[in-house]
A and B are shown apart, each in its own frame.
Chain A
Amino acid sequence: MTDAFSAAVSILFHGTALAMVLYLISVGLSVTMGLMGFVNLAHGVFAMLGGYVVTSLIGRLGVPFVIALGAATVATALASVVVERLLYRRLYSADDLDQVLLTMGLIFMSVAAATYFWGPLAQPMHPPPWLSGPINLGFRSFPGYRSFLILCGAGLVTALWLGLERTHFGVRIRAAVDNLRMAQSVGVNTSRLFTLTFALGSGLAGLGGALGADLLAIEPTYALENLVYFLIVVAVGGLGSIRGPFVAALVIGIADTGFKYLLPELGAFFIYALTMVILLWRPRGLFGRAA
């Protein structure tokens, strides 16, 4: 009984940590999908960039952990603005296929570029000493870094919700997701809104990639290999929602961890099957709005 309980706690803990990473990376994708209808498969590239920035700053230059995280977020956000202004902007009104091809092309380029700059091997992530040890909560102890990950994720989720519900910027985003034309008509500068939202979403992805560098290994094929995870979180959660991807990330993160722990033979099978079943039941995702 205690063994089963211990296993359940362990699955919940590690699953939640994975969920936080998945959520931070995917929430930007969900919002930009809802806002601009842009199929950005290259979203994972930003997460990878964040991961590379953090591992390089810490590993090669010895920059403090928290500063490295901030640098990764800012660098990814800035890089995403450049990409958005130069490339994505041209294709907002194009069809899915063109958007898919453009962003697949960016993924391919990122694979080669990452190999060129960092080599083909996964980058090791060294958490700072104050996060490396276990944290004792009385009834059992938890790995420090993962606990930090969960706290960090919970804090950011709260901040995002408050930002979207309570700030002027959040109101404009919700208005534009609900009805783009009407938002434009009442004077929202949607073009600038797009860029800002895109930068924010990509910055969060960069932060998520950086924080989760020990969960989703930072290697050149990152964007390609984890693509299916990010897409699942967004599609299961429902496009354009902030709450949806969070629930989806929790479901996927915990289920994935649990299945891999209990039935390692069958690996990722269940998660894909679960995804198909959820979408069969709710084709628009858990929190998707009606057409």
Chain B
Amino acid sequence: MATEGLVRASGIRPGEFAVGAFARRHRYHPLEALPWLAALAAAIVFPNYLPLGSQILATILFALSADLVLGYAGIVTLGHAAFFGTGAYTAGILAANGWGEPLTGLLAGAVAAGLVGFLSGLVVLRTTGLTLLMQTLVVATLLHEAANKASSITGGDDGLQGMEVWPIFGVFRFDLFGRTAYAYCLVVLFVCWWLARRLVHSPFGRSLTGIRENARRMHAIGTPVAHRRLVIYTISAALAGISGALIAQTTQFVGLTSLSLDRSGTVLIVLIIGGVGQLYGAFIGVPLYMVAQDRFSEIDPVYWYFWIGLLMVVVVVFARGGVLGLFDRFRR
């Protein structure tokens, strides 16, 4: 709607305008440097909060991975924690059993989670709507149950303990103040963000948006819809696995909550707070949510859920598009 008005006002022929907009949309905008500058500034201003900061960065990656399936491919999932937890447990179990090299740990987490994503995607993505939702939830519940029962490997209810993570490249030791962890998370997040950004602006990424908007038409023009959905589901799962592995390595602990419905639900919340399908929703939603949780849940752990639930209802009913959506509306 807004672009039409702009086109008429500017006197450019619609075709040219559209071509220009498409040609420009993948270029880097100065505003895109903002999250990274903010992350660096936060590390300098709040040096005592670096451990929380690392968790926020790793969770941003988790939300980013969910945004790929949710915002771009339009697959609504209630089981994204399955991949997060798989990555976390893979890296955790490796580190607890004598292989604490962090980067290969990340890689192993990504591969394991990607494999779970691929295999479950084969089944889950055949369905739509409520059935799909239920199956994603079942996959996560199944893994949760498995991790709970296999307590000799995973530590069960008590969580996985005794992880020993080696220094990165054999040089940078994980220190008590969380400096290495913060830098590590920031770099990994940056690399993954860059990959995700390239992905969504590629022809592949555009076809995903097409599938989200009108799967039938994409079928008609010859896009292998099921195949594309499976590929993005697998990639997203692998990224979620990296995020889980990051949190496992930096906190040196993996609990059953990493596979819980709670976590799958929370990632939807942060995305809706920040804005879905914009790649930056995660960068806004996660810090807002986690800082608020850090502050409020200490005062009132149970009623925190009430307010977060109310917030979800209000956002859905009154402020669709989240914070980024509000900005868009404001700009118009």
Q: Which residues of A contact B (CB under 8 A)?
A: 33, 37, 39, 87, 90-91, 94-98, 100-102, 104-113, 115-116, 120, 224, 227-228, 231-232, 234-235, 239, 265-269, 272-273, 275-276, 279-280, 283-285
Nearest neighbor of A225 in chain B, beta-carbon distance:
B261
Which residues from B are CB-within-8-Å of A97? 70, 76, 268, 272, 276
Contact B123 A39 (CB under 8 A): no
A-B pairs with CB below 8 Å: how many? 138
Contact A285 B316 (CB under 8 A): no
Nearest neighbor of B79 in chain A, beta-carbon distance:
A228
Binary per-residue interface labels of chain B (102-128) against chain A in the complex, 1 for a CB within 8 Å, 0 otherwise: 000000000000000000000100110
**126-177 of chain B: CB within 8 A of chain A:** 126-127, 129-131, 133-135, 137-139, 141-142, 145-146, 149
Which residues from A are CB-within-8-Å of B52? none
Query: How distant is the Cα of A96 from the Cα of B261 in the complex, in angstroms?
Result: 18
Which residues from B are CB-within-8-Å of A279? 123, 126-127, 131, 135
A116-B303, A235-B131, A272-B141 given; A96·B76 CB < 8 A: yes
Interface of A is mostly: helix
Shortest beta-carbon contacts, A-B, top 3: A105-B312, A108-B309, A112-B306
Which residues from A are CB-within-8-Å of B302? 111-112, 115-116, 120
Contact A272 B308 (CB under 8 A): no
A198 → B minimal CB distance (Å): 16
Which residues from A are CB-within-8-Å of B269? 101, 104
Contact A283 B126 (CB under 8 A): yes
Binary per-residue interface labels of chain B (72-88) against chain A in the complex, 1 for a CB within 8 Å, 0 otherwise: 00101010000000000
Q: Which of B134, B311, B316, B317 contacts A231 (CB 8 A)?
A: B134
B274 → A minimal CB distance (Å): 13
25 A-B pairs whose Cβ atoms sit less than 8 Å apart in the complex: A37-B129, A87-B313, A96-B129, A97-B70, A97-B268, A101-B315, A102-B312, A102-B313, A104-B268, A104-B312, A105-B308, A106-B313, A108-B309, A113-B306, A227-B261, A235-B130, A235-B131, A239-B130, A266-B149, A269-B142, A272-B145, A276-B135, A276-B139, A279-B123, A284-B127
